[in-house]
Structure formats: structure tokens, C-alpha cells
């Protein structure tokens, strides 16, 4: 899993590439989220466009990012969620937790709306 970070209108966009499946990925992610908070930023969009698949351990990594941001007074939202990842969100009802977007500008704007 590779993570690249960029910013748009004060929102951090994390572009992921590969498979999100736990193991070493969890540590990398944890560090990324703590860095983001330390820099005083708390609005994160995770772009899953480059993610082939994810397992429930990978979903745990996203949840960890979500709770970290929420506790910091921010939020984590998902962009470009494939059918396959969508199925996992639905069956676990985590779709009630994660706001999902198909369009980057809309994902970013959703933070500015409120």
C-alpha cells in the first residue's frame, strides 16, 4: 500500500494505491493520521480510486483514521469507493458512518458546507 498526501482548499486528500489489508499498512496509516493532526489539520478525504480491494482488517484501518479525526474534532470521508468496497460498507452498516463521494470536488466541498 502506498499513501500520497496532497491538499485542496484546506482539506487533506490521501491517495491510496494497492490493497488495504492490515499488517504493516496499519502502522503507516496511524503515523499519517497523527502527523495530520499534529499539523493542526483535521479534514481528510481518503481517495480509494487506486485500491484494488480491501479486507476487514483494512476497514479497521479506515475506522481508526475516522475515530482519530473525529476525536480531533474533524472527519474522514471516502472518495471513489468501488462496488466491492461498497459491499463491505453495506453489509457491516459502516456506510452509516462513512460519508462517501464519487467526485473529488464534492468530497472537498462537503467539508466547507459545514
Measuring CA to CA, how many Å separate 68 from each of 21, 37, 97? 19, 8, 14
Task: Determine the 3-state secondary structure of 32 from DSSP.
Answer: helix
Segment contacting other proteins by CB under 8 A, of 4-12, 41-49, 92-100, 106-114:
92-100
Question: Is 27 among the residues that bind other proteins (CB under 8 A)?
Answer: no
Segment contacting other proteins by CB under 8 A, of 2-10, 35-43, 61-69, 99-107:
61-69
Question: Is 87 among the residues that bind other proteins (CB under 8 A)?
Answer: yes
Angle between helices 56-71 and 24-38 (to 10 degrees): 20
Which of 38, 39, 83, 113 is the binder for other proteins (CB under 8 A)? 83
- Per the CB < 8 A criterion, the answer to whether 25 and 1 are in contact is yes
- Per the CB < 8 A criterion, the answer to whether 32 and 3 are in contact is yes
Binding site for other proteins (CB under 8 A): 19, 21-23, 52-53, 55-57, 59-61, 63-64, 66-67, 83-84, 87-88, 91-94, 96-97
Amino acid at each position: 500500500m502506498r499513501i500520497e498526501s496532497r491538499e485542496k482548499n484546506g482539506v487533506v486528500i490521501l491517495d491510496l494505491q494497492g490493497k488495504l489489508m492490515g499488517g504493516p499498512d496499519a502502522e503507516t496509516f496511524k503515523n499519517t493520521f497523527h502527523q495530520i493532526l499534529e499539523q493542526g489539520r483535521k479534514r481528510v478525504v481518503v481517495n480509494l480510486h487506486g485500491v484494488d480491494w480491501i479486507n476487514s482488517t483494512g476497514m479497521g484501518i479506515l475506522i481508526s483514521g475516522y475515530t482519530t479525526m473525529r476525536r480531533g474534532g474533524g472527519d474522514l470521508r471516502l472518495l471513489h469507493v468501488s462496488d466491492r468496497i461498497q459491499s463491505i460498507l453495506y453489509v457491516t452498516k459502516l456506510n452509516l458512518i462513512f460519508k462517501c463521494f464519487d467526485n473529488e470536488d464534492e468530497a472537498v466541498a462537503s467539508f466547507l458546507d459545514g
